[in-house]
Each structure stands twice: as C-alpha cells, then as structure tokens.
Amino acid sequence: MLRIVRTGVLAVWAAAVLAGCQSPTEPDDTIVVDDFVEASQTPNPAEANTGDGRTYEKPQAELPSLFLPYDWKVRFGVTLLVNSTASDKDLHLKFPIEITSVNIAVQQCSSGIVIPPSGDAIYAAHDVVSSTGNSFGSVNATNTLTLDVWYDLPNGRKEACIDVTVGLKWKNDDNLDITGNKVTRVRVAG
C-alpha cells in the first residue's frame, strides 16, 4: 500500500516538473489572444429593432414544437486589430493569422450585467453579413465583421449582452498550427 502511494506521488511530481519545462513553441501552450488582438464594437451600444419575421423552433413537452418569430434583430460591427505585441519573439507567431469561425452567445442583461434566465431558454441565430477579410497579414492589420443577430429573451426585453467569439489560427516558428479565440462582449441597449 505504501509503495502504491509513493509511486503515485512520484508520478504526480514528475508530471508537474515536466509540465514546467515545456517549450513555448509547443502547439498546446496557452497563448493569450487578448495580448495581441484588440476588438471594438460599432455602434456602441448597438440598437436592436423588432424582429423581421425570421423564426425559431421552441420545443414543447408532449406537444408539437412551436415556430415563433424572434422578438429582436440587431446589426453591429466588431473590428479586430492585431497590435504590435504580435511581433514579440516570445509569442513565436508567424503571419498570416486566419479567421476560422464566428460564434455568438446571447445573454439577457440589465445595465450591462448578465442576468441568468430562470425557466425558459434564450433563442438566438446569427449571420456574418460581411467581413473585410478572413486573415491578418501583419501587425496593425484590421478586419471588421458585420453581424446580424436575431434573439428572443425569457424576460421579453431587448437589452442584451452578446459574446462574439472569433476563432483564430496561425503557425508558430516550428510551422505547427496554433489556435485561439478572441471574445468580445457587445452591448445592446434596452
């Protein structure tokens, strides 16, 4: 029994020591995208309008699903800028940086404070209406994504916080693919 405990402790210690010795060019190292990508929203805050008829499916227990129109639609832009930190040799970052995905998460808010829903779900859909590009070729390069978001909140209000997650991919000095996400919170006025 004592041998098993000693062996387990040694294995944990060895794993901790080896984890501390990883090279910064390993593909699974954590690189904080917020250090080299900045984001801004236009307009700020965004202004939602009544939905335009696009619908969502609301399942019901033991009844047929309902198809309901979204209450709100909002259009806004998110501009991403690769700042000068991207040229820091410790990042081992090689250009271009590619945009690989755009996802959203809509949350109900009050004065910018997220209010978790009690009961009903939040329903949302989005489209990327336009983009000025799909990659960044150098430091100070920008891309603006214009998004349409349709949503329906349990509290019935239009004020929302929308987290826009932009997936990014680039290569390191060893030509290994590295990925990261830039998350931007977009405020929608009430």
Q: Is the pLDDT of residue 81 over 70?
A: yes
The upper half-sphere exposure of residue 189, i.e. CA atoms within 13 Å in the direction of its Cβ, equals: 10
d(CA 31, CA 27): 10
- Cα 174 to Cα 171: distance, rounded to the nearest angstrom: 8
Listed in sequence order, the residues at least 6 apart from 183 whose beta carbon sits closer than 8 Å to its beta carbon are: 163, 164, 165, 166
Cβ partners under 8 Å of residue 142, min gap 6:
79, 80, 81, 82, 132, 136
Provide the pairing of β-strand 37-42 with 72-82. antiparallel
- Which residue in 187, 156, 183 sits closest to 76, CA to CA? 187
Rounded CA gap, 51 and 13, in Å? 57
Nearest to 159 by CA among 47, 68, 70: 47
**Per-residue model confidence as pLDDT tens digits over 119-141:** 889 999 999 999 999 999 999 99
Under the banding of pLDDT at 50, 70 and 90, the label for residue 17 is: very low
Give the model confidence (pLDDT) of 89-111 as tens digits.
888 899 999 999 999 999 999 99
- If one counts every other C-beta atom within 10 angstroms of the C-beta of residue 98, the result is 16
| pLDDT greater at residue 184 or residue 24 | 184
Q: Tell me the average pLDDT across 64-82.
A: 98
pTM above 0.85, yes or no: no
**Where along the chain do its domains lie?**
35-188
Report the distance separating Cα 99 and Cα 156, nearest Å.
33
Residue, of 25 and 87, whose pLDDT is higher: 87
Question: Residues 105, 147: contact at Cβ < 8 Å?
Answer: no
Q: Give the closest residue to 45 by CA, choosing from 157, 184, 187, 190.
A: 187
CATH number of 35-188: 2.60.40
CA distance 141 to 132: 11
Closest CA to 174 of 23, 25, 22, 24: 25
Cα Dmax for the chain: 69
pLDDT tens-digit series, residues 162-186: 999 999 999 999 999 999 999 999 9
